[in-house]
Amino acid sequence: MTISFKDKVAIVTGAGGGLGKAYALELAKRGAKVVVNDLGGARDGTGTSDAAAQVVEEIKAAGGEAMANGGSVTEYEQMVEMVAKAKEAWGGVHILINNAGILRDKSFAKMEMPDFNLVLQVHVMGSANCTKAVWDTMRDQAYGRILMTTSSTGLYGNFGQANYGAAKLGLAGLTKTLHLEGAKYNVRVNSIAPVAGTRMTEDIFPEGLFAQFTPENVVPAALYLVSEDAPTNMIIGAGGGGYHAAYVTMTPGVALREDERTVEGFAAAWDKIIDRTGETVPQSGGEQSMAVMKALQALG
């Protein structure tokens, strides 16, 4: 089986280097026409460069089709313009990989709130801006594949990255709602939690491991998640040749009788509340309410 992206138009943000560049190169190699978006800034978001244009030249030199875009994902109108140019050149947009991101790492005690806000603006609002810019096009053409970039920091936590963790778990939540809203229009939305040696992680990786976790090892998972046969509403971890799925689960829990609904009653039921035996993976928020109602009905 060969997975092709022939006749598909893809936008990859943050594609001037690292993961985004690796995604863009492989998409183009497999036949996609690629918009290489990158402001060209440093990993803290400062400065600009012609990184996107360099990737486009590399794609064209290999016989592919691509265009550079230097718009900022934090500026919605710039993302709307980017989508319009892609549609004018190639007729549509079928794939969006929200990869752009920055880091402003400090412990929460030392973090300045402008740094907290900027990280959320780039990761959360940047992804929302790009997704909103393509959303109507994907609905109208009854085809869309969107990939959000979450992180182990968002899913599980990491010291010194409160801003980044808040943003990355927020993107997993955005994925879960957009997959519901896009389902009837064949718009599938997934999240990837990559582990890769890039300029974003070069001083985080233990010495000796950086070279083992190349961006190219994340590419198979990312491109499958935006392929025609992609699943939807998945969180996939990828790095160094290892791949796994992550889930948000819910335990069966307990229903307390009215006279047990006290702080002490809750404490007494704690072990049953957190017992994971029979836990489920809800597909929408409504399942929490349904589970509570079912448990209360069982009380008689």
Task: Give the catalytic positions in this structure.
Answer: 164
Q: How far apart are CA 213 and CA 296, in angstroms?
A: 49
Q: DSSP string covering the chain, please?
A: -----TT-EEEEETTTSHHHHHHHHHHHHTT-EEEEE-----TTS----SHHHHHHHHHHHTT-EEEEE---TT-HHHHHHHHHHHHHHHS---EEEE-------B-TTT--HHHHHHHHIIIIIHHHHHHHHHHHHHHHTT-EEEEEE--HHHHH--TTBHHHHHHHHHHHHHHHHHHHHHGGGTEEEEEEEE---STTTTTTSPTTTGGGS-GGGTHHHHHHTTSTT--SS-EEEEETTEEEEE---B-------GGG-SHHHHHHTHHHHT--TT-B--SSTHHHHHHHHHHHHHT-
Task: Please identify which residue in the block is written with the tokens 């939690």.
Answer: 193
Q: At what angle do helices 51-61 and 18-29 cross, to 10 degrees?
A: 30
Q: How many CA atoms lie within 13 A of 204 on its CB side?
A: 17
Rounded distance, CA 223 to CA 63, Å? 20
